[in-house]
Amino acid sequence: MTEPARDIRDFILARYPHVQLDDDQDIFEIGFINSLFATELVMYVESTFSVLIPNEELTLDNFRSVRAAADLVQRLTDPREAVS
């Protein structure tokens, strides 16, 4: 597991400690995590990983799972991704 994935997972579990969570699970399909929690996740990701998420990446799909959010962090922090 990458470090961003671990941090993101910990953030979700800190709020919802009773959730059984794997990295590919759709957190919005669990039922009680609503889209508004995604707004907190956006702020968490930006402040924790010192990234600014551009408008075109601001979609719920990028925060739907631990892996999706971690992949986003990877894209925004890896200069090779930025070029490609």
Partner 1 sequence: MPAVDRGDGAFATSGEPDAGNQHMSTVGVVGAGVMGTGVAEAVARVSRSVVLVDVSADALERARAAIHRNCRMGRLLGTDAADPQEVLDRIETTGSLEALADCDFVVENIIEDFALKAPVYAELDRICPSGTIFIANTSAIPITRLASLTTRPDRVIGVHFMNPVPQKPAVELIPGFHTSPETLAATTALLAVMGKQAIQVRDASGFVSNRVLMLMINEAAFLLHEGTATAATVDEVFRSCFGHPMGPLETADLIGLDTILLSLEVLLEHYADPKFRPSPVLRELVNAGCTGRKAGRGFHHYSDVSSSSTPRPLELT
The whole-angstrom separation of Cα 32 and Cα 54 is 27
Nearer residue to partner 1 within complex by CB, 13 or 42:
42
Residue whose entry in the numeric block shows the structure tokens 């999706």 = 68
Q: 27-56: which residues touch partner 1 (CB under 8 A)? A: 35-40, 42-43, 53, 55
Q: CA angle 52-49-53, nearest 5°?
A: 20
In the set 58, 77, 78, 81, which binds partner 1 (CB under 8 A)?
58
Q: What is the widest separation between alpha-carbon atoms in the chain?
A: 40
Nearer residue to partner 1 within complex by CB, 55 or 84:
55
Contacts with partner 1, residue ranges (CB under 8 A)? 15, 35-40, 42-43, 53, 55, 58-60, 63
